[in-house]
Amino acid sequence: MPANPSSESNSQLTLRHVTKRFNGRAGLVTAVEDISLQVKEGEFLVLVGPSGCGKSTLLSLLAGLEQVDDGSIKLDGADVVEPGRDRLVMFQQDALFPWLDALENVMFGLRLKPGLTDAERTEAARYYLDLVGLGDKEKARPHELSGGMRQRVALARSLAPNPRVLLMDEPFSALDALTRDQLYGDIQKIFTQRKKTIVLVTHNIREAVCLGDRVVLLSPNPGRVRQVFNIDLPRPRRINDPALATLAADITTALSAHLAEPKEGLV
Amino acid sequence: MKSPRALVPIVIGLLVLGFWEWYVRSGRVEDFFVPAPTQIGAWFWSALCDGSLASATWVTMRRLMLGFAIGAAIGIPIGALCARSSLARDTIGILSLGLQTLPSVCWVPVAIIAFDPTEAAVVFVVVMGTVWAVVIAVQESVLNVQPLYLRAAQTMGSRGWHLWTHVIFPAALPGIISGLKQGWAFAWRSLMAAEIFVAIIDGFGLGALLNAGRDLHRMDLVMGVMAVVMLVGLLADLIFFSPIERWLRRSRGLER
């Protein structure tokens, strides 16, 4: 299997003073303001916050689907200006193509990756379908799979072209609790095995603590970094682990305290 | 459980035909006005045997296929262009909408002036009947492609031509097929109009046959040809479009 290219620089993904505004009905709305962050190679970073904190906008910016208005985003020193294979995204809905079967869906990104033979592409696609536990479902169409399975195929599809960074936009929020817990396990297994750099966006604080090496708490209107928490719990972590629950409670407290503050106290 | 359901329309159909036959034969209506089913059947059989029906059907189908193919070949890229550019949508798109509402028989005088009563005139009318419906259907179905698919494909490195051929068209395909089906229906109608109005010496199609029946005051011929025209339209739908639509819907889980 293709090995992860090793990086010399410690900080792989760098955000400097990132600001993004949108034209809303009430005029110009600042979605994220002056966000500076560094994501290390092989780090699992989680952006967490209430709705309106700009976390999904931030992920779109990282994906290159939106452009920053101020500041810069760099991956391995190069500016992020457009979508690219080095930053693949798992969306809230699986976004699988209904006209392709599971294997072909996983092959989609691989086919666009130059320098591989078709046999290598098929082999890689099979490997990743196996990795997410769906080796026996390669001929299944998306509609024949459960929501959890579809999200697993989407995960395999995002991993297969071996991106530098995996971006996840609330990929578990539409799943039932049981499937979600399974996927937390799968993601952690893949994260530890493949040493992938991952940025996850979620509004679920417990999920954030369960998965992240670092949890960045964002505050809304406009989206800013409120506080950063280092999570030092050993992996694999279980969502129902008491230590994890305690940490999650701390972050929740920090968030509520912040939300209760008067708006002027923000700056 | 399937045979009783198929049996019902056959039995009802036979009953209606039987009543019709009896009604005409009993002399309650003149058979040059309303011929009996057996009289229409007799014409059908003789036209089938002497090859005139087959040759007329072939001439008509050839024109239809040609005109439909040209119409689709023009309509699909224009529809895609309209979906992509709002300028094209506000100009060609609106024009297409207007021209689609224009009954295609209105193109017959244009075609005769432009091409004289030739094969080209007939095909032109068919193209005009097809193209606007296809433009609108393609435009709408491309505009309705889920943005999420595009975002996902773009992050995986799909751009431009690849994005169109591997994501936009496959995603829009059910809508495009429906549009082609509609275009086909319009083409079929416009072709009949053209064949009735454009008298071409060398190409004797179903429409011309129908018109000949009028000249000869042969109601059996007229009704027979009408039945054939209906049958061809029905078969195109049952054999070609419906199976494709059903397969597309099934393979995407939109229908079981």
- Asked if pLDDT for residue B1 goes beyond 70, the answer is no
Judging contacts by C-beta atoms under 8 Å, the chain B residues touching residue A99 are 170-171, 173, 251-252
Q: Are residues A72 and A124 in the same domain?
A: no
Q: Is A201 near chain B, with CB under 8 Å?
A: no
* Domain, as residue range, for A118: 101-162
Angle at B25 between CA B21 and CA B30, to 5 degrees: 105
Judging contacts by C-beta atoms under 8 Å, the chain B residues touching residue A97 are 149, 167, 170-171
Q: Are residues A18 and A147 in the same domain?
A: no
- List, in sequence order, every residue forming a beta bridge with A46; answer none if it has no partner: A200, A215
- Six-digit token string for A224: 């800013």
Cβ neighbors of B213 (< 8 A, separation 6 or more) are: B219, B221, B222, B224, B225
Q: What is the mean pLDDT of residues A59-86?
A: 91
- Six-digit token string for B117: 């009563």
Determine, yes or no, domain membership for A1.
no
Residue range A7-31, pLDDT digits in tens: 334 668 999 999 999 887 878 888 8
Judging contacts by C-beta atoms under 8 Å, the chain A residues touching residue B157 are 83-85, 109, 112-113, 161
Query: Helix (H, G, I), strand (E, B), or coil: what is residue A82?
Result: coil
Q: Round to whole Å and give the CA distance between B148 and B142.
A: 13
Look at the block and give the residue holding tokens 């990743």. Answer: A128
Q: Are residues A125 and A80 in the same domain?
A: no
Q: Is B157 near chain A, with CB under 8 Å?
A: yes
Q: At what angle do helices A102-111 and A118-131 cross, to 10 degrees?
A: 130
Q: Are residues A178 and A261 in the same domain?
A: yes
Q: Are A241 and A233 in contact (CB under 8 A)?
A: yes
Model pLDDT, residue B202: 63
Min Cα–Cα distance to chain A from B90, Å: 24
Q: Are residues A249 and A198 in the same domain?
A: yes
Confidence of residue A262 (pLDDT cuts 50, 70, 90): low
Determine, yes or no, domain membership for A53.
yes
The CATH T-level fold of domain B39-251 is MetI-like fold (1.10.3720)
Min Cα–Cα distance to chain A from B255, Å: 10
- Asked if pLDDT for residue A109 goes beyond 50, the answer is yes
Model pLDDT, residue A10: 60
Q: What is the mean pLDDT of residues A243-260?
A: 87
Residue range B182-229, pLDDT digits in tens: 889 988 988 998 888 887 766 788 988 888 888 888 899 999 999 999
Residue range B218-246, pLDDT digits in tens: 899 999 999 999 999 889 889 989 899 99
Q: Is A59 near chain B, with CB under 8 Å?
A: no
Residue range A187-223, pLDDT digits in tens: 998 898 888 899 999 989 999 999 999 999 998 888 8
Angle at B23 between CA B19 and CA B27, to 5 degrees: 165
B223-226 LR contacts (CB < 8 Å, sep 24+): B223/B35, B223/B40, B224/B40, B224/B43, B224/B44, B224/B47
- Six-digit token string for B173: 């395909």
Residue type, B255: E
Q: Is B256 near chain A, with CB under 8 Å?
A: no
Model pLDDT, residue A3: 40
- Asked if pLDDT for residue B32 goes beyond 90, the answer is no
Q: Is A248 near chain B, with CB under 8 Å?
A: no
Model pLDDT, residue B29: 85
Determine, yes or no, domain membership for A113.
yes
Nearest partner of B82 among B163, B129, B74, judged by Cα? B74
Cβ neighbors of B184 (< 8 A, separation 6 or more) are: B68, B130, B236, B241
- Asked if pLDDT for residue B78 goes beyond 90, the answer is yes
Cβ neighbors of B71 (< 8 A, separation 6 or more) are: B126, B127, B128, B129, B130, B131, B134, B183, B187
Q: Are residues A236 and A108 in the same domain?
A: no
CB contact under 8 A, A108 and B156: yes
Judging contacts by C-beta atoms under 8 Å, the chain B residues touching residue A104 are none
Judging contacts by C-beta atoms under 8 Å, the chain B residues touching residue A112 are 156-158, 162
Report in angstroms the alpha-carbon separations of A12 from A54, A133, A198: 22, 30, 11
Pick A84 or A265 by higher pLDDT: A84
Q: Are A198 and A207 in contact (CB under 8 A)?
A: no
- Residue in chain B closest to A114 (alpha carbons) equals B157
| Percent above pLDDT 90 for chain B | 57
Report the number of distinct structural domains present in chain A. Answer: 2
Min Cα–Cα distance to chain B from A107, Å: 10
Determine, yes or no, domain membership for A80.
yes
Model pLDDT, residue B256: 61
Query: Helix (H, G, I), strand (E, B), or coil: what is residue A202?
Result: strand
Q: In what order do the strands lie in the sheet with A70-75?
A: A27-40, A11-24, A70-75, A78-79
Model pLDDT, residue A96: 95
CB contact under 8 A, A161 and B173: no
- Asked if pLDDT for residue A102 goes beyond 90, the answer is yes
Model pLDDT, residue A107: 95
